[in-house]
C-alpha cells in the first residue's frame, strides 16, 4: 500500500505544532497501525530525522496507552478496538490519513502525538478506590453475596482501560464516560457503597476542576469506546451525584 500520512508534529509542550506530510510505501494490509508508524520511524531515523513520538505499551488492546485520532476518529475507523488493534486493511491504497493527538485542554500535548492523561489519574485518586483494612482480618470478597446482574454490570464498567477515547471523540471533550465507569464499578457492589457519597462528589469535582467539557449525550463516546462502556453508566453517575448532593 502507498499512503500519504498527515501527522501532527510538535517538538514539545510549548511548541505551536503543525501537520506535516509523509509519503510512505510498502505497507502491508496485515500490519497494525502502530507497526506502520514503526516503519515510518525507521525511515525517518535512517534519513537522520526526528522520529514521530507516539504512546504505546502492550499492543494487545489491554493497557489503554495507545491513543491517536485517526482520520477524525479516536483509535481510527474500526469499532471496539484500540489503535494497536487497528489494521491497515481498514484503509485503501492511495489513502491520505490524518494522525493527530487526542485533543482536550485536560490532555495537553507533550510531544507530537503523545498527550498527558494524568488528569485521569487525579480523578481516580479523588475517589476511585475502596478503603479496606488489609491487616489480616479482611473478609474474602467471595463470601459477600452479590446479585449476578449487578456483578456483571460492575465488571463491564471495570473493563474501562482509561485510554481517553471518550474525551477525544466527544465534541465537548467530556470525561463523563470514563468517570461514570469508575464510579459505577464501585457503586454497584456492596464494598463500594460505604464511600459512594464522597466518591461521586469528589470524582465529579475533580473532573470539573481538570477542565473537561459537559456531557451533551451525543453518545459518540459509547460508539468509539474500545471496551464498549455503556451510556447507562453516565445515567447511573448522574443519579448517584444527585443523591449524594442531597445528602450533602
Partner 1 sequence: MAQSALLNASILKKVAMALSGIFLITFLALHVSLNFISIISEEVFNQASHFMGYNPLIQYVMQPVLAIGVIFHFVMGFILTLQNSAARPIAYAKYNGAANASWTSRNMIISGLVILAFLGLHFYDFWIPEVAYKYVAGTAPDATRYYGELVHKFHDPIRTGLYCISFVLLGFHLWHGFSSSLQSMGMNNKYSRSLSRFGYGFAVVVPALFVIIALFHHFNN
Distance CA 24, CA 94 (A): 10
Residue (69 or 186) nearer to partner 1, CB: 69
User: If binding is defined by CB under 8 A, does position 192 make contact with partner 1?
Assistant: no
Helix axes 176-187, 196-209, angle to 10 degrees: 170
Q: Any idea what the Cα angle at residue 11 is, between residues 9 and 14, rounded to 5°?
A: 115
Using CB under 8 A, which of 5, 104, 115, 189 touches partner 1?
Answer: 104
Write down the least CB distance from residue 173 to partner 1, Å: 4
Stretch that binds partner 1, among 56-64, 97-105, 129-137, 148-156 (CB under 8 A): 97-105
Dihedral sign (CA 43, 31, 101, 71): positive
User: If binding is defined by CB under 8 A, does position 217 make contact with partner 1?
Assistant: yes
Cell numbers that stand for 113 in this block = 502525538
Distance CA 9, CA 21 (A): 10
Residue (94 or 248) nearer to partner 1, CB: 248
Q: Which residues bind partner 1 (CB under 8 A)?
A: 6, 8, 19, 69, 71-73, 77, 98, 100, 103-106, 169, 171-174, 201-202, 204-205, 207-208, 211-220, 223-224, 231-232, 234-239, 241-242, 245, 248
Amino acid at each position: 500500500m502507498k499512503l500519504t500520512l498527515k501527522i501532527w508534529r510538535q517538538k514539545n509542550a510549548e511548541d505551536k505544532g503543525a501537520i506535516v506530510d509523509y509519503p510512505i510505501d510498502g505497507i502491508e494490509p496485515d500490519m497494525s497501525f502502530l507497526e506502520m508508524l514503526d516503519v515510518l520511524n525507521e525511515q525517518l531515523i535512517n534519513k537522520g530525522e526526528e522520529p514521530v513520538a507516539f504512546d504505546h505499551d502492550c499492543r494487545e488492546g489491554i493497557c489503554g496507552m495507545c491513543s491517536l485520532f485517526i482520520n477524525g476518529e479516536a483509535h481510527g475507523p474500526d469499532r471496539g478496538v484500540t489503535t494497536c488493534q487497528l489494521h491497515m486493511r481498514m484503509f485503501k491504497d492511495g489513502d491520505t490519513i490524518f494522525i493527530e493527538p487526542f485533543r482536550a485542554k485536560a490532555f495537553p500535548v507533550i510531544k507530537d502525538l503523545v498527550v498527558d492523561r494524568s488528569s485521569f489519574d487525579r480523578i481516580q485518586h479523588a475517589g476511585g478506590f475502596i478503603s479496606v483494612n488489609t491487616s489480616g482480618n479482611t473478609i474474602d470478597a467471595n463470601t459477600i453475596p452479590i446479585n449476578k446482574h449487578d456483578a456483571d454490570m460492575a465488571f463491564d464498567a471495570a473493563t474501562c482501560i482509561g485510554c481517553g477515547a471518550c474525551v477525544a471523540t466527544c465534541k465537548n471533550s467530556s470525561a463523563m464516560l470514563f468517570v461514570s465507569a469508575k464510579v459505577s464499578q464501585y457503586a454497584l457492589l456492596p464494598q463500594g457503597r460505604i464511600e459512594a457519597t464522597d466518591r461521586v462528589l469528589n470524582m465529579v469535582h475533580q473532573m470539573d476542576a481538570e477542565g473537561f467539557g459537559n456531557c451533551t449525550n451525543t453518545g459518540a463516546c459509547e460508539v468509539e469506546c474500545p471496551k464498549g462502556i455503556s451510556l447507562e453508566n453516565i445515567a447511573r453517575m448522574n443519579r448517584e451525584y444527585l443523591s449524594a448532593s442531597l445528602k450533602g
